[in-house]
Amino acid sequence: MAFSLYYKGLILHCLISFSCLHASEPPLTLDYYKTTCPTVLEIVRKEMECVVSSDPRNAALILRLHFHDCFVQGCDGSVLLDDTITLQGEKKAPNNINGLKGFEIIDDIKERLESECPGVVSCADILTVAARDAVLLVGGPYWPVPLGRKDSKTAGYELTETNIPTADDGLLSIISKFIEQGLSVTDMVALSGAHTIGMARCLNFRNRIYGDYIATSGINPLSQKYLSNLKSVCPPLKGADNNESAMDYVTPNVFDNSYYHILLRGEGLINSDQELHSSILAVQTKKLVAQYAENPIAFFEQFSKSMVKMGNITNPDTYVHGEVRTNCRFVNT
């Protein structure tokens, strides 16, 4: 009952204050570059094929960049901006520093597109398409990507602290951050499935493995062995913060529903993941975890819908003051 009241109260807050971004109907179209840069999708795909074939982990890097971009000011390429004398970017914010990589991949795609269609394709669109292709290239689903985003001239350093879910967030905190973006609980559980690929830093799973991991996973030889391996990678004392472990230890480089099976076993690597199944408030989310574990097609279908929805979170200011950057790291001069 308390959870239901909280959920309804947060929605009411959004409606009254208009403070929430909305993943709704932005001025985006599937054929936006049909006449101005008809080869954009082909160029992005070829570049992504190269980087993912060279290292499948690159897929997760791009997907994470897209998520962090959309949750701060909308999907406007602000996460790609470097610090300058007049602009503080988002890359060095506490929730991003040492955790975001793959910027050079977007740089290379942008360079190719500037050669083919100078001044036409926004960095925000490049990142959105690249994220879709990244998932597809490691076995995940396809979804159509509406295009026409503009690049922001500003960044949201402070917003990274309030908007982006962290590894130790509780379930209500995670849900509230998604609702603030116009995304539902179902979207949240489906999009969390992106953790079926990629790595987590020791800094982000230390509290989990030295906390309630045994309580959720139970005492069994396989879980104990996995936990022992994690502790060897991530000692209890500081000093190994940037050591990494796969969030899906079963199929770390394949986009599938293995992540949800891991949660069902109580072996989620970070606290915020395991909360989806083990929190005392996880009534709705636990059902969705079980559904996606049982039915990979249902997971793929919902993930695709939720990615379109997240990609449609726009920064309204960019349609007035935005631009198409010639270099994704810097505002045009």
- Predicted confidence (pLDDT) per residue in 128-187, tens digit: 999 999 999 999 999 999 999 999 999 999 999 999 999 999 999 999 999 999 999 999
Across 48-68, average pLDDT: 98
Residue 11 has pLDDT above 60, yes or no: no
pLDDT exceeding 90 applies to what percent of the chain?
87
Question: Which residues form the domain of 112?
Answer: 39-164+311-321
The confidence score (pLDDT) of residue 20 equals 45
Both 181 and 304 in a single domain?
Answer: yes
Residue 28 falls inside a structural domain = no
Catalytic residue among 68, 261, 277, 321: 68
Tell me 267's DSSP state. Answer: -
Pick from 229, 201, 185: nearest CA to 96:
201
Across 38-60, average pLDDT: 98
Q: How many CB atoms lie within 10 A of CB 60?
A: 27
Number of folded domains in the chain?
Answer: 2
Rg (CA), the chain: 20
Alpha helices in 31-118 (DSSP H): 40-54, 57-70, 103-116
Say how far apart CA 9 and CA 7 lie, in whole Å: 5
The confidence score (pLDDT) of residue 9 equals 47
CATH of the domain at 262: 1.10.420.10
Block residue for tokens 């010639």: 326
Task: Provide the total of helices (H) and of strands (E) in the chain, helices listed first.
Answer: 16, 2
Is 68 an annotated catalytic residue?
A: yes
| Span between the terminal Cα atoms of the chain, in Å | 54
Both 315 and 298 in a single domain?
Answer: no
Q: Which two tokens stand for residue 197?
A: 């690929």
Both 196 and 133 in a single domain?
Answer: no
Residue 2 falls inside a structural domain = no
Across 1-30, average pLDDT: 50
The confidence score (pLDDT) of residue 240 equals 92
The confidence score (pLDDT) of residue 26 equals 52
For 27, 45, 52, 60, the CA distances from 30, given in Å and listed in that order, are 11, 16, 24, 24
The confidence score (pLDDT) of residue 222 equals 86
The confidence score (pLDDT) of residue 6 equals 40
Q: Which two tokens stand for residue 57?
A: 């982990």
Residue 314 has pLDDT above 70, yes or no: yes
Say how far apart CA 239 and CA 119 lie, in whole Å: 44
Residue 216 falls inside a structural domain = yes
The pTM (predicted TM-score) of the whole model is: 0.92
Block residue for tokens 């082909």: 42
Pick from 192, 305, 185, 196: nearest CA to 257:
196
Binding site as annotated, residues: 69, 72, 74, 76, 78, 90, 165, 195-196, 248, 251, 256
The confidence score (pLDDT) of residue 237 equals 85
Residue 122 falls inside a structural domain = yes
Across 115-126, average pLDDT: 98
Residue 41 has pLDDT above 60, yes or no: yes
- Using pLDDT thresholds of 50, 70 and 90, give the confidence band for residue 89: very high
Report phi then psi at 245, rounded to 5: -140, 150
Both 220 and 270 in a single domain?
Answer: yes
